[in-house]
């Protein structure tokens, strides 16, 4: 049986089924292993993991611990309750705006990806970061997200494994700007948050490629080198005379954790700025929902459950709840299964009626074949979402599906 236990209850003789963190946050050779001695115990504690899963069929049990299913149900219930609360001042989105915005969003997302590629190349050549260009691009992204957040946010789900760092930066920037707007932050604050998010991982250009792209597990030394990218991001950005404290905070604090278990400084609670606290949540959400990490990308429901679960230790809990409400039940770009036995892509969520977004129907699950893509507004249609699905389950590729809507 798989059970969830607090790390303090872990003893020699137990078998770890899942460390309950991203691969990048630990450097064990495997994520499933027996705890054979005290040094392994110490190493698990050092990861900063606060709760983890054990397999009681392969090692010692802990009677009072809940099973994974019981715990997942409890977390899901908590997320549902958070989502049930009305979002702050829901902004109505006109579906017609979506298509107009999408054309601009496609160009914008390509420009942003090119910008971060160029910026990284410049810094590699010893040049300074050109903040002016970043500012122009982030301003345009913020304007697009104000007009209709669904277009640019939906595009953020398109990933290319080779382009991970670039697309991750653009996606983080999009999510952070939209989240800041949702929190009704001042436009200048939003802009600086966007600049910091776009450049938060710039320090990775100093990480040797053999470490950055290593397919297997990192050694202790390589792990340290990998983590050093945060310090490098700060150093590179500090060289730009116009960099703002907000943008710096986003980059320098995106791996800090609310309980002090993060890096590089191990800052705790309110020692981390609200910008760093936001970046920590968004960075983790983006990583676990993108294809590269964690079982080929988690569906948003599962990702939100994880954010909630980890917010008990790693994130500011209030901010995490706001983020959960911001993402909502069916964010644009997610793949869903309909009652009518079709697979569809969520195009635009409707804050007034979050359970009935407009979708693009693309696949017939009865006949298991692609159909001519058809847009369907679930509010005005006798059809509804049964739940999330994984495109690959139907032999589809999320990326190709997304291209259908462009």
By CB under 5 A, name the binding residues for Fe ion: 201
**Shortest approach of Fe ion to residue 201 CB, angstroms?**
5
Q: Which long-range contacts (CB under 8 A, 24 or more apart) does 7-13 make?
A: 7/44, 7/45, 7/49, 7/50, 7/51, 7/52, 9/62, 9/65, 10/35, 10/41, 10/44, 10/52, 10/54, 11/35, 11/41, 11/60, 12/36, 12/37, 12/38, 12/40, 12/41, 13/59, 13/60
Q: Which is nearer to Fe ion, 307 or 345 (CB)?
A: 307
Q: At closest approach, how far in Å is the CB of 200 from Fe ion?
A: 6
Q: Which is nearer to Fe ion, 42 or 209 (CB)?
A: 209
- Quote the least distance from Cβ 192 to Fe ion, whole Å: 18
Does residue 305 contact residue 79 with C-beta atoms inside 8 Å?
Answer: yes
Nearest CB to Fe ion, comparing residues 68 and 206: 206
Task: Identify any residues that bridge with 336 across adjacent strands, giving them in sequence order.
Answer: 344, 388
Cβ-closest position to Fe ion: 201
64: Cβ–Cβ under 8 A, 6 or more apart, which residues? none
CA distance 247 to 268: 19
- Identity of the residue, 157 or 227, whose beta carbon is nearer to Fe ion in the bound complex: 227
Instruction: Give min distance, CB of 391 to Fe ion, in A.
Output: 27
- Give the phi and the psi of residue 358 in degrees, each rounded to 5: -90, 140
**Minimum Å distance from CB 198 to Fe ion?**
13
Measured from the CB of residue 222, what is the shortest distance to Fe ion in angstroms? Answer: 15
User: Between residues 279 and 359, which has the closer beta carbon with respect to Fe ion?
Assistant: 279
Task: Identify which of residues 201 and 256 has a Cβ nearer to Fe ion in the complex.
Answer: 201
Q: Min. distance of Cβ 204 from Fe ion in angstroms?
A: 7
Number of other CB atoms surrounding residue 333 within 10 Å: 21
CA distance 28 to 312: 24
User: Sheet holding 51-55: strands in order across?
Assistant: 2-6, 51-55, 15-18, 33-34
Which residue's CB is nearer to Fe ion, number 201 or number 291? 201
């Amino acid at each position: 049986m798989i059970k969830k236990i607090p790390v303090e209850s872990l003893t020699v003789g137990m078998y770890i089924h899942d460390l309950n963190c991203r691969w990048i946050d630990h450097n064990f050779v495997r994520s499933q292993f027996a705890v054979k001695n005290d040094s392994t115990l110490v190493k698990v504690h050092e990861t900063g993991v606060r709760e983890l899963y054990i397999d009681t069929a392969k090692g010692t049990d802990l009677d009072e611990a809940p099973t994974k299913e019981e715990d997942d149900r409890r977390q899901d219930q908590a997320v549902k309750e958070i989502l049930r609360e009305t979002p702050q001042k829901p902004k109505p989105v006109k579906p017609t705006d979506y298509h107009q915005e999408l054309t601009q969003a496609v160009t914008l997302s390509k420009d942003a990806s090119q910008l971060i590629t160029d910026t990284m190349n410049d810094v590699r050549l010893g040049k300074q970061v050109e903040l002016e260009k970043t500012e122009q691009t982030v301003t345009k992204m913020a304007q697009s997200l104000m007009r209709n957040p669904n277009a640019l946010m939906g595009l953020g789900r398109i990933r290319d494994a080779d382009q991970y760092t670039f697309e991750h930066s653009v996606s983080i920037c999009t999510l952070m700007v939209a989240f800041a707007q949702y929190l009704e932050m001042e436009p200048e604050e939003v802009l600086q948050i966007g600049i910091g998010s776009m450049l938060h991982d710039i320090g990775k250009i100093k990480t040797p490629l053999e470490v950055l792209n290593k397919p297997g597990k990192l050694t202790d030394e390589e792990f340290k080198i990998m983590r050093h990218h945060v310090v490098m991001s700060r150093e590179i950005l500090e060289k730009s005379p116009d960099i703002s404290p907000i943008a710096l905070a986003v980059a320098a604090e995106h791996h800090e954790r609310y309980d002090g278990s993060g890096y590089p400084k191990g800052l705790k609670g309110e020692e981390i700025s609200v910008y760093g606290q936001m970046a920590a949540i968004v960075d983790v959400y983006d990583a676990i929902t993108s294809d590269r990490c964690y079982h080929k990308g988690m569906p948003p429901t599962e990702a939100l459950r994880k954010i909630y679960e980890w917010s008990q230790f790693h994130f500011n809990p209030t901010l995490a709840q706001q983020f959960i409400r911001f993402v909502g039940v069916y964010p644009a770009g997610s793949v869903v299964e309909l009652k009518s036995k079709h697979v569809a892509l969520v195009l635009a969520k409707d804050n007034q009626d979050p359970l009935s977004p407009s979708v693009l129907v693309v696949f017939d699950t009865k006949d298991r074949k692609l159909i001519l893509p058809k847009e369907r507004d679930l509010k005005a249609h006798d059809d509804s979402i049964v739940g999330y699905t994984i495109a690959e389950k139907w032999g589809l590729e999320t990326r190709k599906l997304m291209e259908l809507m462009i």
